[in-house]
């Protein structure tokens, strides 16, 4: 049996919606299943995800990785999504996105990334459930990707166990603005929502360009958010200004990769 599937990159949190919101990008990892050749690496995250539904011993696995690793763009979520979807397809299992999420969380652990990788678009996740709430963002995404890597576990360990009441109120308000911006497709509301006090201040050490971009936003930019645990920063721009914003950021950060990424309209699935 030959089967070819793909899964998108993702950005999590979208600023204030910590561990809840995510969006999928049109940047894809792929997996091709073939006839068994005795070379299966059962420690591979994607193979472990596949094993949730089917025996890896019956196949060979060829992974194509395009998503930068440990950069906050959901590379591990994409690999898990590839394995889950391929495994379900291999045995003809009719499973919904929520069921795939449940199977994958023990391996990935970050529901916000995995939800977006499974369904595409813009998602919210809570209590093991996924809601795809929008097909697109009200702003264009310009990813500024540094060369350094950040391990998610280390970034999460930097977060405090408690937060000030004022910071919790601030984030609740910005998260509500984010929801309204997505519902209305309103870039001005989105610009007002693009801030956070729960995770970004504690992770900024590994992404100094976040503050640099925020302090001097390019003309046409609406704001900037840390992508997942970083170090990638997403500069959000008016859609008619996306190319100009990307060009300015590429000039300002010549040692970084700057990518204009569109929102993926679909999630993990067969090619």
pLDDT per residue as tens, the chain (271 positions): 689 999 999 999 999 999 999 999 999 999 999 999 888 899 999 999 999 999 999 999 999 999 999 999 999 999 999 999 999 999 999 999 999 999 999 998 889 999 999 999 999 999 999 999 999 999 999 999 999 988 877 778 888 899 999 999 999 999 999 999 999 999 999 999 999 999 999 998 889 999 999 999 999 999 999 999 899 999 999 999 999 999 999 999 999 999 999 999 999 999 9
Q: What is the CATH number of the domain that holds 104?
A: 3.30.230.10
Number of domains in the chain: 2
Q: Is residue 76 part of a domain?
A: yes
What is the extent of the structural domain holding 226?
140-261
Q: Is residue 111 part of a domain?
A: yes
d(C-alpha 108, C-alpha 254), whole Å: 32
Give the pLDDT confidence score for residue 88 in this predicted structure. Answer: 97
246 and 229 in a single domain? The answer is yes
**Domain boundary, last residue among 91, 118, 135:** 135
28 and 126 in a single domain? The answer is yes
With the C-alpha atoms ordered 190, 194, 198, 199, is the resulting torsion angle positive or negative? positive
114 and 16 in a single domain? The answer is yes
d(C-alpha 214, C-alpha 253), whole Å: 14
Q: Is residue 271 part of a domain?
A: no
Give the pLDDT confidence score for residue 2 in this predicted structure. Answer: 84
Q: Is residue 270 part of a domain?
A: no
Per-state percent for the chain, helix, strand, coil, to nearest 5:
40, 25, 35
**Domain boundary, last residue among 118, 135, 152:** 135
Give the pLDDT confidence score for residue 220 in this predicted structure. Answer: 97
Give the pLDDT confidence score for residue 200 in this predicted structure. Answer: 94
**Domain boundary, last residue among 135, 168, 186:** 135
Question: What residues pair up with 257 in beta bridges, in sequence order?
Answer: 145
Please count the CA atoms within 13 angstroms of the CA of 188 that sit on its side-chain side. 0
Q: Which residues, 6+ apart, have CB-to-CB distance to 188 below 8 Å?
A: none
199 and 237 in a single domain? The answer is yes
130 and 192 in a single domain? The answer is no
d(C-alpha 94, C-alpha 41), whole Å: 26
For residue 144, report the phi and psi dihedrals to the nearest 5 degrees.
-110, 105
* Token pair for 22: 């995510």
Instruction: Give CA torsion, residues 205, 229, 123, 126, to 10 deg.
Output: -110
Element (H, E) at 98: helix 97-108
Give the pLDDT confidence score for residue 240 in this predicted structure. Answer: 97
Mind listing the pLDDT tens digit for each residue in 122-174?
Answer: 999 999 999 999 999 999 999 999 999 888 777 788 888 999 999 999 999 99
Contact 46, 67 (CB under 8 A): no
213 and 200 in a single domain? The answer is yes
d(C-alpha 252, C-alpha 249), whole Å: 5
Q: What is the CATH number of the domain that holds 216?
A: 3.30.70.890
127 and 209 in a single domain? The answer is no
114 and 131 in a single domain? The answer is yes
120 and 12 in a single domain? The answer is yes
Q: Is residue 177 part of a domain?
A: yes
Q: Is residue 269 part of a domain?
A: no
34 and 70 in a single domain? The answer is yes
129 and 148 in a single domain? The answer is no
How close are the terminal C-alpha atoms of the chain, in Å? 15
């Amino acid at each position: 049996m030959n089967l070819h599937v793909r899964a998108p990159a993702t950005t999590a949190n979208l600023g204030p919606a910590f561990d809840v919101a995510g969006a999928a990008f049109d940047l894809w990892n792929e997996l091709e299943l073939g006839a068994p050749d005795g070379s299966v690496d059962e420690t591979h995250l994607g193979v472990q995800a596949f094993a949730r539904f089917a025996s890896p011993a019956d196949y060979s696995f060829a992974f194509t990785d395009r998503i930068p690793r440990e950069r906050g763009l959901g590379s591990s979520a994409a690999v898990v999504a590839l394995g889950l979807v391929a495994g379900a397809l291999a045995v003809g299992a009719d499973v919904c996105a929520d069921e795939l999420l449940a199977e994958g969380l023990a391996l990935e652990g970050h529901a916000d990334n995995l939800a977006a990788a499974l369904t595409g678009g813009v998602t919210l996740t809570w209590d093991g459930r996924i809601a795809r709430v929008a097909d697109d963002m009200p702003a264009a995404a310009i990813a500024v990707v540094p060369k350094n890597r950040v391990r998610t576990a280390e970034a999460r360990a930097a977060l405090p166990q408690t937060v000030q009441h004022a910071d919790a109120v601030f984030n609740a308000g910005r998260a509500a603005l984010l929801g309204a911006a997505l519902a209305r497709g309103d870039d001005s509301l989105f610009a007002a929502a693009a801030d956070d006090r729960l995770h970004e201040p504690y992770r900024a050490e590994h992404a100094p360009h976040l503050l640099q971009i925020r302090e001097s936003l390019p003309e046409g930019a609406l704001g900037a958010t840390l992508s997942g645990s970083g170090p990638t920063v997403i500069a959000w721009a008016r859609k008619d200004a996306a190319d100009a914003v990307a060009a300015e950021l590429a000039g300002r950060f010549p040692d970084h990769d700057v990518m204009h990424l569109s929102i993926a309209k679909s999630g993990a699935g067969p090619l």
